[in-house]
Every structure is written in C-alpha cells, then in structure tokens.
Amino acid sequence: MGGTNCETKASRRKRAEVTELLRKLGLGLIPDEELRSLIRVQVERRLQWGYKPTFEQQFAQLVQFAHSLKQRAISLEAEVLESQVYEIPNSFMKLLHGSSMKASTTNCQGIRKNSLFSNLDSIKDEAEIAMLELYCERSQIRNGDRVLDLGCGFGALATYIVCKYPNCQVTGVTNSTFQKEFIEEQCKKDNLVNVEVMLADVTTYEMDREFDRVMAISVIEHMKNYELLLKKISKWMKQDGLLFIDHICHKAFAYQFEDDISIVNHLAVNGKHYSRTNEEWLKKLDGNADVARAILEGSIGSKEEGMKMLN
C-alpha cells in the first residue's frame, strides 16, 4: 500500500513538472541552452528506442512500421500545418529567410566561415542559392522541361528554375493563400510569365497533366502513406519523367516504396547543413523578436496566441 502511494505521489509530481515545463515553454520562459538540452535528451531516447539488439528485431520493426503507414491516409497533418506554418504572414517569414525566401535547408558547403557574423544576410542568400543549384543539378532539369513543384513554398525553386532555364514551364502547388499571392507578386514584379501557381492540397488534388520533372522539397516528411502519394505522383509524370525528393531522414532508419516509382539514385546532403540553416533562422528571429511578435499578434488577433506561436 505504501509503495503504491509513493508511486502515485511520484507520478503526480512528474505530471505537475511536465505541465509547468510546457507552460514555460509556451511563454518562452525556457532559455535556449536548457531547451537544447531537453531536445538532445529526447533525441537520445528516440534513438535508444529505435535501435534493436538483433538484425531480426530491427527488420521486424521496419516491416511493422511500413505496414502501419499503408493503413493510413496520405497525410493527417494538412489542416494543422496550414494553420501553423502556411498561413503565417509573409512579413514574418521575410524576417527568417534569405532573399529567395527558401523555407528549407540550405547548402553551406564552401561558405566563408569568417564572414558569417559580419554579413549574415549575404551568407544566408549564398547558401540558399547553392542549395537551389544543387536541386537543379541532381534532378537533371533541362531547358524546356515542364516542372511540377509540389509544396512550392514561397516559390524559391520555381523562380530559380525559370531564371536559370528560361524555356521551362513551372507549375507550383501550395495550399497557402499567402504563399500563392507572394509568388504571383514576385513573378509579376520580375516579369516571369512561365510560372503558374495552383492553390490546392496535394493529397487530394487531381489533374490530367504530365511533367518531365516533379520536385518534392520538404514534402514527404509531412506524409504518412507514401505508397498512395507516390501512386498519385506517378500519374503526373511522363514516361521518362523523374521525381526528385528532398526530405529529412536518419542514416539508419530509412524506408522506401517502389511500387509506382523506381529509384534511380539516392544522394545525401550532410545534416549539418540543415542544422546550420536552423541556427541562422534562430539568430534572425532573435534579432527581430519584437517585430516578429507584433506581426504575429496582429495577424492572429491575440497577444497570448501570438506569443505561443513565436515561442
């Protein structure tokens, strides 16, 4: 009886500690270094859970996980992502990103380390362009190709492609009104007539068109049933078309579906590039915290909710 009471008290105390931690987290009261330590602990626990003592157990876990994904819809996160990320005002996103508004990893290879703090914006722009160039190189885009950019974000890749390959026709798909308006304004400003933006949810969108290249940058990690997604995408590809996927993954816990798409090549970008990209975003956000807070509060209409989103 006494042991049970002690365990109950301990569990209550633990829940209270977690509740208080989450409250402080929502209010931005946890210092960055303490937050980084918590993240490292969580990642370590996740890896300990993922690694199994034998090959048979490791493989069984992979098979079970792949099977579970096949039972799900293509995506379960569209509505949450739309409210949390896609419908954030453009003025806020401009505080974070470089001039191309690329909202995914950048390529820091060869970037001048000594100039990082002296001219942060130019370094960020340079890294964004380097990654866009790498996308074009690895996806083997040719001048004159019809390109479909799924989850096109703020149009960094779409506009880069038509500037580099003026005979290409690029169709971007986004479910964000803000992003669509931003891209169309930029294209009008720069007289880019060969970029089309569709406002749609890629998981439910249907069309009778085929493309030479399909680009999916930072899209796959938001999906669950890859098999259904790739089946849908395969219908939009020409017979000799290529699908280029850029996604966050772990070196040991990878999985692939090849029923409707055949993998031609598998190329890696060191995760340190994404780590450094996030560090630069955090520095820009911290340096513009007051402006960012005002933008979010004005957009959401609530000081408390704006503070939560910023933190």
Could you give the domains of the chain? Answer: 78-272 (3.40.50.150)
Residue 76 pLDDT:
58
SS3 sequence of the chain: CHHHHHHHHHHHHHHHHHHHHHHHHHCCCCCHHHHHHHHHHHHHHHHHHHCCCCHHHHHHHHHHHHHHHHCCCCCCCHHHHHHHHHCCCHHHHHHHCCCCCCCCCCCCCCCCHHHCCCCHHHHHHHHHHHHHHHHHHHHCCCCCCEEEEECCCCCHHHHHHHHHCCCCEEEEEECCHHHHHHHHHHHHHHCCCCEEEEECCCCCCCCCCCEEEEEEECCHHHCCCHHHHHHHHHCCEEEEEEEEEECCCCCCCCCCCCCCCCCCCCCCCCHHHHHHHHHHHHHHHHHCHHHHHHHHHHHHCCHHHHHHHHC
Residues 270, 285: Cα–Cα separation, whole Å: 24
Are residues 287 and 293 in contact, defined by beta-carbon separation less than 8 angstroms? Answer: no
Q: Rounded to an integer, what distance in angstroms lies between the CA atom of residue 275 and that of residue 286?
A: 17
Cα separation, 136 vs 165, whole angstroms: 10
Mean pLDDT in runs of 10 for the chain (311 residues)? 59 78 77 82 81 82 76 62 55 62 48 38 70 92 97 92 96 92 92 95 91 92 80 94 86 56 62 72 76 74 69 62
What is the reported pLDDT for 126?
A: 78
**Hey, how many other C-beta atoms are within 10 angstroms of the C-beta on 17?**
10
Q: According to the model, what pLDDT value does residue 83 have?
A: 46
Q: Which amino acid is at 134?
A: L
